[in-house]
């Protein structure tokens, strides 16, 4: 199981490439631009926090990262096979210390990472994180394990964030989950195929209500990890899913395809779902942040330029983006997002996506941040 990691130096564009065997230590310098993972079992963790929530943010971050890596090891992975970290911090003042504490746990084997500021599930928590990691072993279906769930090798399905309007959290989450369930059913899949639920909710204080509504859809079966993010929109919830596509019939004919769904019109800005065929590697891109001295409406331009460069170096392209999560902390930046996507995306195959308003995106002065997954261009590499 080889994982290819490519790094971009902070001062400019240069490459340091290393092949990582599972369990091996990696050698990199600078910021990780992307991690390429071959088709194989993937572990999606739950949102992990420290046990001792009386400590400062950096200490909590170190403990949470240690707990996360223990869960990864128990699932059959290692520090070197973690491809993606999503880092959630309670306050912007803690971001720098939290990032240092988490990266210290990974040493030189740094994964890609996105940071947002959000409320957290436990009172007193200053930081939480979740991860995606390559693991060993084979399974015919999704396997929910302690601390997360394992997605088997084979086809993978990414459902865009869905918002179904409702009166309050119960109705909003319920209708949204039912809409996602109908999309799964149209693909010949069910709730047992889901490996992760990511829920963007407001008010965050009603998280327990949302959790009950989500869990109810699994009808007493194993509930996969649910990742929580506070959002600033005016609806109770937007929810996205990752699912196994091993039982898709017919099997996907292309490495990356974007199915249509009855009653849902196709958009030129995003696809309702992206299907990655069996045998296709995934490319996890590092969080993309703009310069801090650029006006919010103009921050998308350097971000999409950087995205194009990274995709080129990763052997991918805009037509081969699988999933995009756009975090924004500014209303004007959110309005401009649709315009910039029209410039860069093929309207016939934009990625599955979620556009999420948050309080802070991980860098002072920045208003946007991107969490992205891609696949390689067709043909030999």
What pLDDT, in 10s, does the model give residues 175-226? 999 999 999 999 999 999 999 999 999 999 999 999 999 999 999 899 999 9
What pLDDT, in 10s, does the model give residues 113-137? 999 999 999 999 999 999 999 999 8
Q: How far apart are CA 52 and CA 125, in angstroms?
A: 9
Q: How far apart are CA 293 and CA 306, in angstroms?
A: 16
Q: Whose CA is closest to 61, among 112, 129, 132?
A: 129
Mean pLDDT of 159-177: 96
Q: How far apart are CA 347 and CA 255, in angstroms?
A: 18
How much of the chain, in percent, has pLDDT values that exceed 90? 82
With 0-12 / 13-18 / 19 or more C-beta atoms within 10 angstroms meaning exposed / middle / buried, residue 234 is exposed
pTM for the structure as a whole: 0.92
Check pLDDT > 80 for residue 4.
no
What does the pLDDT read at residue 251?
A: 87
What does the pLDDT read at residue 108?
A: 84
Mean pLDDT of 102-121: 92
- In this prediction, residue 76 has a pLDDT band, given cuts at 50, 70 and 90, of very high
What does the pLDDT read at residue 23?
A: 27
Check pLDDT > 90 for residue 36.
yes
What residues contact residue 126 under an 8 Å CB cut-off, 6+ apart? 53, 56, 57, 60, 61, 89, 90, 91, 94, 98, 120
What pLDDT, in 10s, does the model give residues 282-323? 999 999 999 988 998 899 999 999 999 999 999 999 999 999
The average confidence (pLDDT) of the chain is 90
Mean pLDDT of 66-85: 97
How much of the chain, in percent, has pLDDT values that exceed 70? 91
Q: Whose CA is closest to 4, among 40, 37, 42, 41?
A: 37
Check pLDDT > 70 for residue 12.
no
Where are any strands of DSSP class E within 148-281? 148-151, 156-162, 194-201, 226-230, 237-244, 256-257, 273-276
Domains of the chain, first to last: 2-152 (3.30.1330.40), 156-251 (3.30.1330.40)
Instruction: Specify whether the CB–CB gap between 148 and 44 falls below 8 A.
Output: yes
What does the pLDDT read at residue 124?
A: 96
Q: Would you call the peptide bond into 304 cis, given omega within 30 degrees of 0 as the criterion?
A: no
What does the pLDDT read at residue 29?
A: 29
What does the pLDDT read at residue 380?
A: 59
- In this prediction, residue 105 has a pLDDT band, given cuts at 50, 70 and 90, of very high
Mean pLDDT of 19-25: 28
Check pLDDT > 60 for residue 13.
no
Q: What phi-psi label fits residue 119: left (phi over 0), alpha (psi between -120 and 50 degrees) or beta?
A: beta
């Amino acid at each position: 199981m080889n994982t290819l990691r490519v790094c971009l130096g902070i001062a400019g564009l240069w490459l340091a490439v290393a092949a990582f065997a599972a369990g091996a230590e990696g050698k990199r310098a600078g910021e990780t631009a992307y991690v390429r993972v071959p088709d194989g079992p993937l572990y999606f963790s739950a949102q992990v926090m420290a046990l001792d929530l009386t400590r400062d943010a950096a200490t909590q971050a170190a403990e949470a990262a240690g707990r996360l890596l223990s869960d990864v090891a128990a699932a059959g992975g290692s520090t070197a096979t973690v491809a993606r970290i999503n880092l959630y911090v309670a306050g912007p003042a803690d971001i720098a210390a939290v990032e240092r504490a988490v990266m210290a746990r990974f040493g030189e084997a740094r994964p890609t990472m996105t940071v947002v500021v959000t409320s957290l599930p436990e009172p007193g928590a200053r930081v939480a994180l979740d991860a995606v990691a390559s693991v060993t072993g084979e399974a015919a279906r999704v396997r929910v394990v302690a601390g997360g769930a394992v997605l088997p090798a084979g086809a993978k399905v990414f459902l865009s964030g869905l918002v179904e309007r409702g009166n309050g959290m119960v109705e909003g989450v319920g209708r949204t989950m039912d809409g996602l369930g109908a999309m799964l059913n149209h693909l010949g899949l069910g709730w047992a195929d889901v490996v992760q639920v990511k829920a963007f909710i407001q008010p965050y204080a009603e998280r327990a209500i949302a959790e009950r509504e989500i869990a109810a859809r699994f009808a007493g079966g194993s509930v996969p990890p649910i990742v929580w993010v506070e959002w600033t929109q005016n609806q109770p919830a937007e929810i996205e899913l990752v699912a196994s596509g091993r039982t898709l019939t017919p099997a996907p004919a292309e490495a990356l395809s974007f199915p249509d769904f009855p009653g849902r019109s196709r958009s030129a800005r995003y696809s309702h779902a992206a299907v990655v065929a069996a045998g296709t590697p995934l490319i996890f891109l590092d969080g993309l942040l703009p310069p801090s001295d650029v006006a919010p409406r103009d921050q998308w331009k350097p971000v999409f330029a950087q995205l194009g460069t990274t995709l080129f170096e990763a052997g991918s392209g805009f037509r081969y983006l699988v999933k995009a999560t756009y975090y924004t902390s500014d209303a004007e930046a959110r309005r401009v997002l649709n315009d910039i996507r029209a410039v860069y995306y093929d309207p016939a195959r934009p990625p599955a996506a979620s556009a999420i308003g948050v309080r802070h995106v991980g860098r002072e002065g920045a208003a946007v941040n991107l969490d992205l997954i891609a696949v390689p261009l067709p043909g030999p590499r």
